[in-house]
Structure 1
Amino acid sequence: MTQLNPRHIAVIDIGKTNAKVVLIEGSSGTQLGARSRPNTVLTDDLYPHMDVEGLWDFVLESLAALQAENGVDGISITTHGACAALVAGDGLALPVLDYEWSGPDASRADYDARRPPFSESLSPALPVGLNLGAQIFWQAQTWPDRFAQVTAILTYPQYWAWRLTGVLASEVTSLGCHTDLWAPAQGTFSSLITTMDWAHLFPPVRPAASALGPLRADLVERIGLPGPVPVACGIHDSNASLVPHLGAHEPPFTIVSTGTWTILMTVGGDTGALDARRDSLANVDAFGRAVPTARFMGGREFDGLVPEIVEPSEDDIAHVVTNRIMALPSFTPGVGPFPGHDGAWSHDPDGLTPGQRTAAASLYLALMARTCLDLCGLGRSITIEGPLARNRLFGEALAKLAGVPVFLSGDATGTSLGASLLFGGTLPQTGSSNALSPLHAAGLEAYIQSWQGQVAS
């Protein structure tokens, strides 16, 4: 990690649902300020695409506000995956595609004939635009004249780093998240790059933690900074959640990165149990190492299952368990460990109180997470990062299901905190004193067995 150690680090954190700019005190990890906005998808062009100009204005306005309040000494970047910018000179050859758009499925057969095998990429075939290689292939086949103008393909964190510094770079955590573009075991680009003759379009690979360059002089003036500040190359958001833990725990250990997606990563785990048919894969950490990973769209599903979130009481939990009120996968088609299942409630959810409904959905997430651990491996401990760190029932249920210590991160935005550490620094380590107690409820074992039996059938 670079040891520039700026005092106040502004983290540009672009998630699939929301975008934030968070100011973090480098030596303590304390959040000093934040700005946020929805990450809106636009539909006014060739296909649904990311609002990069709206985000750009938001980022610059946020940086200016945070500079005025506390000062900004460095900028780091983290974004969701499955996203790339096709750069043409100083602009874009094509809009930045929304990975949830189904357009790439139109060329799926032709693409599948060219994509590398799972044994090489550890990247499963995923629907819509979730394989970044499939996105680029579809764009190249559908708009060949525009694609011919492409001068660089930038994964999303590095796109923003380029706009801030003018420096082009590639980076392994974004290249290695189910893109088909990377071969984790070899630490090189996959054979797809050669097959498609794209190698010249990817800039040199730089470490996530490298200072890519100083902020552009015109932006220094616009933001109101007293002088140039360093900008880190940037990192994929799930991998940002790993950064505080790398080297801090005895492997194997599991990190649960939560947000729109619930992503379980077991550092030091074995990739042998990964199943390409069940949305499990290898991510690549900031040091370029393969990390067995399994995931499902937990945040998106929870929002759909629970219109009104109310912290469940013991009576709520008991009612759900005793009456075996269950959410059964999957409510986001085509992804997660049960991609072919259609999500359903065992009971009419409209007959439940908000607390009961929240309890059932929380147990559902825990059961799904435990299923993912069969694919990515169970670590000696589990740490939950992000919004689900606020859901105590989820954590207690996962502790019961996994049988290892489960910790809740003290920071609800683990991605922002991890990205701030790209400039160096360490955080106080979580001790065993705040491990969650496993959930105890009458009939819980039978509830678990019933859920697992139904999803296995």
Structure 2
Amino acid sequence: MSRTPVTAVFDIGKTNKKFFLFDENLKEVYHTYTRMEAIPDEDGFPSEPILPMRDWMLETFKNALASTEFEIKKLNFSGHGASFVHTDETGEPVTPLYDYLKPFPEDLLERFYTENGGKMSFCQQTSSPPLAMLNSGLQIYFLKYAKPEKFKNVKHCLHLPQYLSLIFTGQMVSDYTSIGCHTGLWDFSKMDYHEWLKREGIEPLLPPILPGNSLLQTKSELGSIPCGIGVHDSSGALLPYLEQEKQPFALLSTGTWAISINPFNKTPLTESELYQDCLQFLSISGEPIKISRLFIGEEHKYQVEQMYSHWNLPLGTYKKLQFDRSIYQRVADSKVKKIGFHYLKPQDYGLEKADSSDWNQFSDFTEAYYTFIHELTDIQVASLSLVLNDTQVNRVFVDGGFNANSIFLEMLRIKLPGKEIIPSDFPNGSALGAAMLVNMLS
């Protein structure tokens, strides 16, 4: 019996590690996933379980290679950003994969900005809001000065998607989509690495840059299969839309973060936009793309857990709610802010917020949840507007976790009356984008 030819993709998120097979029409025909517990780094802060993840990937891939149903013809990877794997000469990790939420020493951060012309000047040059460890390039600076004993063993610094490719190909490369992801590495005015990397002797640690649709080859023991170099997950999620859509659009890619992406906005960043977590990415070919970010997934998780605890409700209760305009109207008519956000800062967008959430002021869970989503979508609209302004974009696709939340979607429609809000047909957009990349040349 002949086997179905497929493209394999590992899609590595912070929470879920997924493996997909796509047929020749790029339709998903198989997937599996695992979750892994974080491993404390040397400071006791959670870090990515990089070695268990590598073992799971290799075992999963070898099982797929042995399948009697599928024949793997191509392989690629998508991975979360702001993550560096630091290796020795052979490609073996020599440090933990530090979490981007790990605290960055304030004195070291201040010294870095002082050495580089001041915080906001540097941020504008690199199109990177000041995000400490989330500026992943600064993680290398942190390593050099805060962990010198570890740094002396580092010979290569790879972004996570390219480390995933290294596992299977043995080759070390860099790609634009990871370099351009608020890393503090790229000077957008010069369209080259920022000069601080040369001054610190860090540039030689970064492997050569290849275009995102480049093909390498897996090691012989892994089939000598054409293999991609990996893609940053948000950039991967954009690709299916660019391929399908002929008219301008924006993408709101939701999950832990809501990433508003407008590939038709090339305007330079202003200082105020940087403060509102607006930045630029690089496309697979190195072109700038304007985006804004909002930490809505974690905010939603936190607030819903508080509500469940208060009303003693089971997990998943909010998923049973459907949009009711009368409830929305009642909530929207109240001019008093009632939600004390945990992660988000409405004041950054000129919005008010409550000091804390008093759940006793709500008649029931439904009213509380509607109020939360109402105030959350106010912030989301402000964030989205940063990339929509001054462009002829009238359609916004919503993919990821919130694309199935009718309350979230309907409130966006009400608050963006001139825009068409379209739930996405690409729920696994990052993985699909990675699959498309390795099939672009064939």
Length-normalised TM-score, structure 1 = 0.82
Cα distance in 1 between the residues matched to 2:58 and 2:283 = 29
Identity %: 23
Instruction: Determine if contact 2:262/2:290 at 8 Å carries over to the other structure.
Output: yes
Asked if 1:388 corresponds to 2:402, the answer is: yes
Correspondence 1:330-369 to 2 at 5 A: 330-332=341-343, 337=348, 347-348=358-359, 351=362, 353-369=364-380
Instruction: Determine if contact 1:11/1:77 at 8 Å carries over to the other structure.
Output: yes
Decide which of 172, 178, 183 is 1:174's aligned counterpart: 178
* AA matched with 2:236: A
Cα distance in 2 between the residues matched to 1:20 and 1:288 = 27
Classify the secondary structure of the residue corresponding to 1:111: helix
| Aligned match of 2:298 | 300
Aligned alpha-carbon RMSD (Å)? 2.9
Asked if 1:271 corresponds to 2:275, the answer is: no
Instruction: Determine if contact 1:284/1:290 at 8 Å carries over to the other structure.
Output: yes
User: How far apart are residue 24 of structure 1 and its match?
Assistant: 2.0
| Aligned match of 1:448 | none
Asked if 1:32 corresponds to 2:36, the answer is: no
User: How far apart are residue 149 of structure 1 and its match?
Assistant: 2.3
| Aligned match of 2:433 | 418
Instruction: Determine if contact 2:83/2:136 at 8 Å carries over to the other structure.
Output: yes
User: How far apart are residue 320 of structure 1 and its match?
Assistant: 3.2
- Kindly provide the CA deviation profile for residues 357-416 of structure 1, in whole angstroms up to 9, marking residues without a partner as x: 443333334222210123222433111121111112222222222221111112322211
User: How far apart are residue 210 of structure 1 and its match?
Assistant: 1.0
Q: Which runs of 4+ in 1 moved over 6 A?
A: 339-343
Classify the secondary structure of the residue corresponding to 1:113: helix
Cα distance in 2 between the residues matched to 1:336 and 1:236 = 30
With 326-335 and 396-405 compared, the bigger mean Cα shift is at 326-335
Instruction: Determine if contact 2:349/2:379 at 8 Å carries over to the other structure.
Output: no
Q: 1:21 to 1:354 in 2, by over 3 A?
A: farther
Q: 1:334 to 1:198 in 2, by over 3 A?
A: farther
| Aligned match of 1:93 | 94
| Aligned match of 2:217 | 214
Gap runs ≥5 in structure 2: 306-316
User: How far apart are residue 104 of structure 1 and its match?
Assistant: 4.5
| Aligned match of 1:284 | 282
User: How far apart are residue 53 of structure 1 and its match?
Assistant: 0.9
User: How far apart are residue 81 of structure 1 and its match?
Assistant: 0.8
| Aligned match of 1:401 | 415
Q: 1:15 to 1:151 in 2, by over 3 A?
A: same
Instruction: Determine if contact 1:387/1:413 at 8 Å carries over to the other structure.
Output: no
User: How far apart are residue 184 of structure 1 and its match?
Assistant: 3.0
| Aligned match of 1:429 | none
| Aligned match of 1:117 | 122
Instruction: Determine if contact 1:296/1:335 at 8 Å carries over to the other structure.
Output: no
Classify the secondary structure of the residue corresponding to 1:72: strand
- Kindly provide the CA deviation profile for residues 5-37 of structure 1, in whole angstroms up to 9, marking residues without a partner as x: x9412211111222211222241x322222222
Instruction: Determine if contact 2:319/2:405 at 8 Å carries over to the other structure.
Output: no
Asked if 1:151 corresponds to 2:166, the answer is: no
With 172-181 and 369-378 compared, the bigger mean Cα shift is at 369-378
Cα distance in 2 between the residues matched to 1:93 and 1:288 = 29
* AA matched with 1:371: A
User: How far apart are residue 199 of structure 1 and its match?
Assistant: 1.5
Cα distance in 2 between the residues matched to 1:306 and 1:110 = 39
Classify the secondary structure of the residue corresponding to 1:124: coil
User: How far apart are residue 93 of structure 1 and its match?
Assistant: 2.7
With 167-176 and 139-148 compared, the bigger mean Cα shift is at 139-148
- Kindly provide the CA deviation profile for residues 407-440 of structure 1, in whole angstroms up to 9, marking residues without a partner as x: 11123222111111112369xxxxxxxxxxxxxx
Instruction: Determine if contact 1:77/1:235 at 8 Å carries over to the other structure.
Output: yes
Cα distance in 1 between the residues matched to 2:109 and 2:11 = 31
Instruction: Determine if contact 2:124/2:269 at 8 Å carries over to the other structure.
Output: no
Cα distance in 2 between the residues matched to 1:108 and 1:208 = 31
Cα distance in 2 between the residues matched to 1:311 and 1:119 = 44
Q: 1:145 to 1:232 in 2, by over 3 A?
A: same
- Kindly provide the CA deviation profile for residues 129-154 of structure 1, in whole angstroms up to 9, marking residues without a partner as x: 11112211111102223212221111
Decide which of 45, 56, 80 is 2:42's aligned counterpart: 45
Q: 1:14 to 1:323 in 2, by over 3 A?
A: same
Cα distance in 2 between the residues matched to 1:22 and 1:96 = 24
| Aligned match of 2:13 | 15
Q: 1:36 to 1:233 in 2, by over 3 A?
A: same
* AA matched with 2:396: I
Q: 1:121 to 1:114 in 2, by over 3 A?
A: same
Instruction: Determine if contact 1:240/1:414 at 8 Å carries over to the other structure.
Output: yes
Classify the secondary structure of the residue corresponding to 2:109: helix
Q: 1:98 to 1:44 in 2, by over 3 A?
A: closer
Asked if 1:373 corresponds to 2:384, the answer is: yes
Q: 1:44 to 1:124 in 2, by over 3 A?
A: closer
* AA matched with 1:359: Y
Classify the secondary structure of the residue corresponding to 2:51: helix
Asked if 1:72 corresponds to 2:72, the answer is: yes
- Kindly provide the CA deviation profile for residues 250-295 of structure 1, in whole angstroms up to 9, marking residues without a partner as x: 5642111111100101111143454221211111122211111111
* AA matched with 2:174: S
User: How far apart are residue 240 of structure 1 and its match?
Assistant: 0.7
* AA matched with 2:89: G
User: How far apart are residue 76 of structure 1 and its match?
Assistant: 1.1
Cα distance in 2 between the residues matched to 1:346 and 1:228 = 56
Instruction: Determine if contact 2:346/2:379 at 8 Å carries over to the other structure.
Output: no
Classify the secondary structure of the residue corresponding to 1:99: coil
Cα distance in 1 between the residues matched to 2:370 and 2:231 = 34
* AA matched with 1:93: V
